Amino acid sequence: EIVLTQSPGTLSLSPGERATLSCRASQSVSSTYLAWYQQKPGQAPRLLIYDASSRATGIPDRFSGSGSGTDFTLTISRLEPEDFAVYYCQQYGSSTGCSFGQGTKLEIK
């Protein structure tokens, strides 16, 4: 089983600031199989990034993903009020299936 560990658990920032969220895997993950999601209270998660760095349809370009191997990053260049939410990374392995990180809560400072 591949365990994804996200840090920090909570990130307190102000609108306009830059957010950097980390996702570390317990063993190497193909970047093709790493995705990021945003979840707001009472809503289903929404796909932001797939293939580690490709934005999903309709996702603003202030969201970007990077990384390889065991270390991946989601960056939000300039925070908008609607970006405050919980963010999850997710990986897929052909033998192990899917798993999610525990989430990073991005809150308004």
Interacting residues with other proteins (CB under 8 A): 1, 30, 32-35, 37, 39, 43-47, 50-52, 54, 56, 88, 90, 92, 97-103
No. of helices (H) and no. of strands (E), the chain = 0, 10
Q: Which is nearer to other proteins, 19 or 90 (CB)?
A: 90
- In angstroms, give the least distance from the CB of 7 to other proteins: 14
How far apart (Å, rounded) are the C-alpha atoms in residues 39 and 100? 13
CA distances from 25 to 58, 90, 103 (A): 27, 10, 13
Q: Which is nearer to other proteins, 16 or 61 (CB)?
A: 61
Q: What are the tokens at 20? A: 């950097």
- In angstroms, give the least distance from the CB of 89 to other proteins: 10
- In angstroms, give the least distance from the CB of 47 to other proteins: 5
Q: What are the tokens at 100? A: 């999610």
- In angstroms, give the least distance from the CB of 78 to other proteins: 25
Q: Which is nearer to other proteins, 51 or 80 (CB)?
A: 51
Nearest to 65 by CA among 57, 80, 75: 75
